[in-house]
Amino acid sequence: MNFLSRSQYITAIDFGSDTIKVVVGEHSPQTNNLIIRAVGRASSSTCISNGLILDIESARQCLLKALKNAGINISSNKNLFQNTIVGFEHPECMTTIEESSKEFKFPTLITENHIAELKKNVHSTIQSKYKNEQFYTHTYIYEWFCDGVQVYTPLTMIVKKITLRAYFCLIRELLTNNCRSCIANIPPEDIRKNIMFVYTPIVLAYSTASAVETGSGVLIIDIGKDNTSLVITQNKKIKLLETLPYGISKIASMLTLAFKTDPEESKNLVSSYGVSQEILRKIELVCNGDKSDISTYDFDKILNLIPSQTNPVLLQNNRTIFRSEIEYIVTIGLFEIFHKIYYKHLNTHLNLFHDVILTGGGALTPNLVPLVETIFDMPGRVRVGNPINIPDIPPNTNTSLYAPVLGLLKYYYSENIQSQRKKRHLLFLKNYFPAFIQNLLSFLF
C-alpha cells in the first residue's frame, strides 16, 4: 500500500505481550472524519512479556511483520511515522497529579505568560520528585481553576487566583528506550525522536465508550495475556487507573500444569472453550459464607455436580480429556481473578461506575460477560468493548482485540485536532480581547 507523501497520517502501535498491532489512520478533509487506512498484527509472545520487550531484534521483526501484514511498504512510506503514538501496559507505569497556583493582590488579566509559568512549575515539580528515577512523563489532562471555579481556559480572564492541576503518566524509560531501539532503522531518526508514548489504559474510553457512559461512569477492564488494566471514567475524567500483573496466561498456565499441554495450545483451549455457564451457576451453590471471601467457596464440590465423561478432547500430546475438565479450570481461574478485581481493587470505587466494558484479547473468551455480571452483580450492564464511532472500520478490526490500538489512534487524533482548535481559539482571544479588557481595567481601577 502506497501513501501520498503530502498526506498526514497517524500510526498507532500497541506492543502487546501476545501480539503487536499497528493501525494507520488519516484525517479526511471531505468528511472531517478519521479513516482507517491499514491494519496489521503479528505474534509477539516470544519477545514481549508482561509488557516488556525482552528481545529487541525479535520484536523489531514482529513489528515489521505486522506492518507487512497491514500491506505497508516501509521503504516507500517512511512518512507514515511522522505522527506516531506507542502504547504501553505495564504494572510499573504510574500516574500522579501535581498542582501549581498563583495569587494576585488585585484582579489580574491572565496572559499566556501566566499559563506558561504554571505549566513550567508543575513540570519542574515532577522532575524534582523523580530526579533519581528514569521516567518518561506524559501529561494527559490539564485542568484550570480561576478563583476556585473550573474553566476551559483561563486566558483573558480577570481573577485573583489561578490554579493548574496536571495529571501525569510516568513510564519507565527502560520501556520507552527498548521501544525506540525496536523501531530503530524503520522510520528516520528525526521522526523516532518525536514518538508519543502513552499508558494505554488512558485511551481505552476513546475507542469503546459512549459519551453517556463516560459521563455517568464506566469501568473498562482490558484483559491481556499477562496484565489486566482497570480504568474508571466518570464525568469524562479518569477516576481510577491501575494495571494488575495477571491475565489470560495465568489460566493457560493452569491448563498446562494440569494436562501437560504446550503453552500455545493451552492459550487456544482458553479461547476455544472459555467459561461454562453451567459451572458458573453451580459456584453459587458451593459458597459456605461471605461471598467477598474467596476461601468460603468449596470449588471441589463442583466436580460432583456436573457431568464429566462427555465431549472428549484429544490434545496434541495424544492425551484425551473431557470438555468439562477444561471449562472447570478456566471458569474457576477467571472467577478467582475477577473476584479479586471486584473485592480487592474496586471495593472503594463501586459508586463511580454504572456499566462495565471488557476489552483486549481476553474479552473474547466465551461467556466471560456472564461471569463478570455474576461477580459484580450487574446483570445486563457488562458488554464486550468493540470499537465504536470509527467510520468504515474493517470488519476484522471491529473487535475488542483492536480496541486498545484504536484508542491510541483516536487519542492522538483527538488531541491533535483539539490542540489546533485551542490554538485558533486562543489566538482569537489574544488578538481581540486584551485591549478591550485592559481599557476596562483602567476605567474600573
pLDDT tens digit sequence for 365-385: 999 999 999 999 999 999 999
Condensed to tens digits (0 to 9), the pLDDT of residues 268-291 reads 999 999 999 999 999 988 888 888
Q: Say yes or no: 55 and 32 in one domain.
A: yes
Span 20-36, average pLDDT: 83
**Global model pTM greater than 0.75:** yes
The x, y and z cell numbers of residue 51, run together, are 509488557
CATH of the domain at 41: 3.30.420.40
Q: Residue 384 in contact with residue 400, Cβ under 8 Å?
A: yes
The domain boundary residue, chosen from 362, 384, 406: 384
C-alpha cell read off for 248: 489470560
How many C-beta atoms lie closer than 10 Å to residue 411's C-beta? 24
Say what the pLDDT of residue 424 is. 58
- Annotate 149-159 with b (16+ C-beta within 10 A) or e (fewer): eeeeebbbbbb
Output the pLDDT for position 2.
44
What are the distances in angstroms from CA 80 to CA 69, 122, 313, 397?
Answer: 15, 33, 46, 20
Q: CB-side exposure of 335: number of CA atoms within 13 Å?
A: 26
Length of the chain (residues): 445
pLDDT higher than 70, residue 442 = no
Q: What is the pLDDT of residues 1-26, one digit of tens each?
A: 444 334 578 899 999 889 999 999 88
What pLDDT was estimated at residue 356? 97
Please tell me whether residues 204 and 290 are part of one structural domain: no
The answer to the question of residue 445 being in a domain is no
Are 228 and 337 contacting, i.e. CB atoms less than 8 angstroms apart?
Answer: yes
Mark whether 68 and 203 lie in a shared domain: yes
Residue 348: per-residue pLDDT? 93
Query: 111 and 153: one domain?
Result: yes
Q: How far apart are CA 19 and CA 152, in angstroms?
A: 39
Average of per-residue pLDDT values in the chain:
85
Q: CA separation (Å) from 440 to 208, 429, 434? A: 47, 16, 10
Per DSSP bridges, beta strands 158-172 and 94-109 are antiparallel
Domain hosting residue 395, numbered range:
9-89+174-209+389-420
Q: What is the DSSP letter of 195?
A: P
- Type and span of the H or E element at 418: helix 403-432
Residues 248, 341 within the same domain: yes
User: Given this model, what pLDDT does residue 4 score?
Assistant: 36
Domain-embedded: residue 197: yes
Helix H or strand E encompassing 64: helix 56-69
As for how many domains the chain has, the answer is 3
CA angle 219, 220, 225 (to 5 degrees): 140
Q: Could you tell me where the DSSP H helices lie in 78-145?
A: 112-129
Residue-wise pLDDT for 92-131, tens only, equals 787 888 999 999 999 999 998 999 999 999 999 988 888 7
Which pLDDT score is estimated for 79?
67
**Non-local CB neighbours of 136 within 8 Å, separated by 6+ positions:** 170, 171, 172, 173, 175, 176, 197
Strand extents, DSSP E, 270-426: 312-314, 320-322, 355-359, 382-384
Q: What percent of the chain has pLDDT over 90?
A: 50
Q: At 179, is the secondary structure helix, strand, or coil?
A: helix
